Amino acid sequence: MTNETMAPQQAEAFRTQTVRRHQIWTVVTRTLTTMAMALGMGFVITALVSPRPLQAYTALLTGPLSSPARIGIWMEDATGLILLGLAFTLVFQARQFSLLAEGQLHLGALVAGIVALHLPLPIGLHLGMALLAAMAAGFLYGLIPGALKAYLGASELVASLMLNVIAQRFYELLLTYWLRPPGAGYNWTDPFPATAILWRPIPDVRINIGLPIALMATALVWLLIYRSSFGYELRVVGANPEFARYVGIPLRRVILLGIAVSGIPAGLAGAYLAMGVHHRLILNISLGLGFEGIVVALLARNNPAFVPLAAFAYSYLRIGGDIMERTAAVGSDLVRLIQAVIILFLTAEALFEQLSHWIARRRHLHVGS
């Protein structure tokens, strides 16, 4: 290859890297700006309802870093949010609005708990089998709304919400009448054996190997979306279904697998809660955590590379809100309000971007005519 042909290629590669860096900084800046605006609005409201707004906000902004134990709780909470954010990032790439992560989380925890309690295996193999079973449960459960949408045209939003309730009740049924120790007056199982627990490398700090597992899952999801043929098909279907059909992309298969594959990290999140946080199955294992992944995916702009950053930021707000509620006598409603403002700002920004694209497209068509 001659120098004359290498120079344009190097220039094009440099331009591509520059554009990617600009996109990265744009996403990070927008995310931090959105959260800063929400926090600022929350402070104004706190000043109106609390006699000690500075103390309350100090607890919110510094509480998660005030001790090693609280740092561990923050990391523990963020790990589950990373996996759930990845689940929604996958399904949103195809513009499918399945909200099945909560149900897949419950089934993942349930299957992992059954393997942990009733399938004695050697160390390493026991843990791996439980995690694989949880991921398989999330994938298989996702096939139901995927098939309903792909082949019957049913709304994946309605189907997933109904299936969430079924999964939660099934989890409660097996926990109460089969997995709970006979005659026990509480709704949780015996502790898992040591071979089925995500171990903690730092004693007395609630950080376990689930965090590196979640980061590896982030890399795998990124490779799936941006470096595989299925990921390309997923993005094309999400961007323009008519074009995807025109170029021969199997629309039904992509929709079916897109919703099903998103269940793999959601099921893994359930296994993480059971094996890494509680070390047993308990009633109300999630408390709606599956829906929090939506905010993480929105903060990350549906880019898996930014999901860990968004999860850590959003989890910091969640943990800081709990600390603020306990130490500064501020109700948890304020934290929910800040979360709602974040979602509102994200939605408004998305609508503005869509409006800008629509106006630009109309102008282009007008100029072309």
Q: Which residues pair with 282 in a beta bridge?
A: 188
Does the pLDDT value for residue 66 go beyond 90?
no
Task: Quickly count helices (H) and strands (E) in the chain.
Answer: 14, 0
* Amino acid making up residue 298: L
Residue 235's pLDDT is what? 92
207-233 average pLDDT score: 94
Q: What stretches of 50-93 show up as alpha helix (H) in DSSP?
A: 53-62, 68-93
- Cα→Cα distances 96→46, 183, 227, Å: 37, 44, 21
Cβ 285 vs Cβ 276: under 8 Å: no
Do 237 and 248 contact (CB within 8 A), yes or no?
no
pTM score: 0.86
Question: Higher model confidence: residue 201 or residue 264?
Answer: 264
Tens of pLDDT, residue by residue over 257-299, are 999 999 999 999 999 999 999 999 999 998 889 899 998 998 8
| DSSP alpha helix (H) spans, 194-330 | 210-226, 229-239, 241-246, 251-261, 263-272, 289-299, 307-327
- Residue 233 is predicted with a pLDDT of 93
Q: What is the pLDDT of residue 12?
A: 62
Is 132 within 8 Å of 119 (Cβ atoms)? no
